[in-house]
Structure 1
Amino acid sequence: MTTRYRAAVLGSPIEHSLSPVLHNAGYAAAGLDEWDYTRIECTAADLPAIVGGADESYRGFSVTMPAKFAALDFATEATERAAAIGAANTLVRTPGGWRADNTDCEGISGALDALLAGAPIGRALVIGAGGTARPALWALGERGVGRIDVLNRSDRSAEIAPLVRGAETTFSGFDADLYGLAVAADVIISTVPAPALRDYADALGHAPVLDVIYEPWPTPLAIAAAANGYTSVGGLVMLAEQSFSQFEQFTGVAAPRQAMREALARHTG
């Protein structure tokens, strides 16, 4: 009898997650007929029971909000980047339990590659400093970016210092010279809800934009950047890019990246 393997995405609400589109397309393209990927409704409080009670057929879980912090707490081991970021979007079964990882930083890095086509980043502007910003800051630190300006309502310099690998970091509020910050940046990464920038988009839209939002798209910031001749990529690119490492950690097989990207593009139309 063929052994069945399973993986799933955990979060709440979860019914609209696009992760099954990516992973199941990958299984089909890689010939992994014995694999299946589903959605499971899961709050932070639910996670220990769901993951701890999963039978051996479950080889891994993707984790979205609000369970990312619980995933890191539950794991028996963690990668360096998950520990530094302080949250996990990936749990992989190991002989001794579960390993936590955070592939969101790979999502950011892959999206930056798609946006900038290999152009170097000397200075970046990151909008927001919460949980979604931390993988972005880690990815920029990994690239050796020299200066990172963070636009946020409070100064969290001490919190982000372990993420940015010694980059010069400045915090500014929304009463700062937003145009000046944007013009000086090689790239802008927005990690805040799209409506939060509606009143600031015209001032900020003066550099290439990576906006983690994918619905609705385009965001006000992406529209403003386009009006000034700059390209943007959205959260769908990041979503695909972060899924590849998850796929490989779960299955041990190289992710069929193009097939997964194409499936997501077909699904989202």
Structure 2
Amino acid sequence: MLSPDATRLAVWGDPIAHSRSPQLHAAAYAVLGADWTYERRQVPESLFAGFLAELDSTWRGLSCTMPLKAAAFAASVVRDRRAKLTGAVNTLLLDPSGPRGFNTDVGGIVRSLQDEGITAVDGARIVGAGATAASALVALTELGARHIEVVARRPHAVAPLEAIGERLGVTVRPVPLDAPAHAPLPVTVATLPGDVRLAAPSAEALAVGGGLLVDVVYGQWPTPLAQAWPAGGGRAVSGLGMLLHQALLQVRVFAHGDVDAPLGGEDVILAAMRQALDAGVGD
């Protein structure tokens, strides 16, 4: 059981200055009446294990963003199902028996797609093949997808996603990023980092056929892909919805250790978090 003195939380990553997690969590804990602090810390992957070992009993948990999700997975002594499937942990509950790892990105993507009216899908596309792509793959399968195209610069990098697909009974097909054309699909989830600049021909080819684009980037919006998307007749949204919902699931973990159990008054908490995000305070 966590100590009553375990009141400190933070988001770690590299870079981290753009993170809007502090404002989201502060809004949630104000509604909950929890006197907890939540801060940012720039932590390179090479220093993660050492910094984690230095935390004392006043620490309740961590949110881990890129490039720390694999390191957080390795540090976890217990992992939830989504973390096991993806090999990625973005939430650590610092239990005295050892860190408990969760992947709330999957639920964040599911809920953000549902907010956009996507409650079921058979086929979909993912752009990128990193840790967030694995979360997107699991999220799309939870919405019913059985055929998923993964567009990547290096098609061989899709192999880990193909392995996840095999475990879930889903067909994952790698497609080169510079392909001259792509089949229309109702949903595309782009998982490329914000500093990746897509060539205009690649962005335009992906946009053909429209559908909904959810680009997980929010700090460097609009991305080149999002700018190209309307020309194909589709609609593009940023990763703020994913950020909001994955943060709410993190609050569940930090509040009572169960990512699947709703909080009391969760609608009010979510509304406060959404308002804080819309206000843009603390960017």
TM-score for the superposition, normalised by structure 1: 0.89
Consecutive unaligned residues in structure 1, runs of 5 or more = none
Q: Is the 8 A contact 1:84 1:162 kept in 2?
A: no
For 1:246 and 1:101, the matched residues in 2 are separated by: 8
Aligned-pair CA distance for 1:263: 0.2
- Label 1:86 to 1:21 Cα distance change in 2 as closer, same or farther (>3 A): same
Find the residue that maps to 1:159 and give its secondary structure.
Answer: helix
Find the residue that maps to 1:163 and give its secondary structure.
Answer: helix
Q: Is the 8 A contact 2:5 2:57 kept in 1?
A: no
Find the residue that maps to 1:132 and give its secondary structure.
Answer: helix
The aligned amino acid for 2:139 is A
1:1-269 equivalences in 2 (<5 Å): 3=5, 5-32=7-34, 34-115=35-116, 117-152=117-152, 153-156=154-157, 158-164=159-165, 165-178=168-181, 180-181=182-183, 183=184, 185-193=185-193, 195-205=197-207, 206-252=210-256, 254=263, 255=266, 256-267=269-280
The aligned amino acid for 2:58 is S
For 2:244 and 2:138, the matched residues in 1 are separated by: 18
The aligned amino acid for 2:274 is R
For 2:17 and 2:224, the matched residues in 1 are separated by: 26
Find the residue that maps to 1:195 and give its secondary structure.
Answer: coil
The aligned amino acid for 2:46 is A
Consecutive unaligned residues in structure 2, runs of 5 or more = 257-261
- Label 1:197 to 1:136 Cα distance change in 2 as closer, same or farther (>3 A): farther
Q: Is the 8 A contact 2:28 2:272 kept in 1?
A: yes
For 2:274 and 2:119, the matched residues in 1 are separated by: 22
Query: What number of residue pairs does the alignment pair up?
Result: 263
Aligned-pair CA distance for 1:60: 0.7
Deviates more, 1:10-19 or 1:156-165: 156-165
For 1:51 and 1:41, the matched residues in 2 are separated by: 13
For 1:119 and 1:82, the matched residues in 2 are separated by: 22
Aligned-pair CA distance for 1:38: 0.9
Q: Is the 8 A contact 2:113 2:119 kept in 1?
A: no
- Label 1:16 to 1:175 Cα distance change in 2 as closer, same or farther (>3 A): closer
TM-score for the superposition, normalised by structure 2: 0.85
Aligned-pair CA distance for 1:3: 4.8
For 1:84 and 1:240, the matched residues in 2 are separated by: 22
Aligned-pair CA distance for 1:7: 0.8
Deviates more, 1:190-199 or 1:56-65: 190-199
- Label 1:175 to 1:66 Cα distance change in 2 as closer, same or farther (>3 A): closer
Percent identical residues: 36
- Label 1:94 to 1:21 Cα distance change in 2 as closer, same or farther (>3 A): same
Q: Is the 8 A contact 1:111 1:233 kept in 2?
A: no
- Label 1:3 to 1:76 Cα distance change in 2 as closer, same or farther (>3 A): closer
Find the residue that maps to 1:203 and give its secondary structure.
Answer: helix
Find the residue that maps to 1:161 and give its secondary structure.
Answer: helix
Give CA deviations for 1:77-134 in whole Å, capped at 9, x if unaligned: 222221221221111122411111111111211221122x144211101111122211
For 1:147 and 1:228, the matched residues in 2 are separated by: 22
Give CA deviations for 1:38-77 in whole Å, capped at 9, x if unaligned: 1122222322232222222211100112222211112222
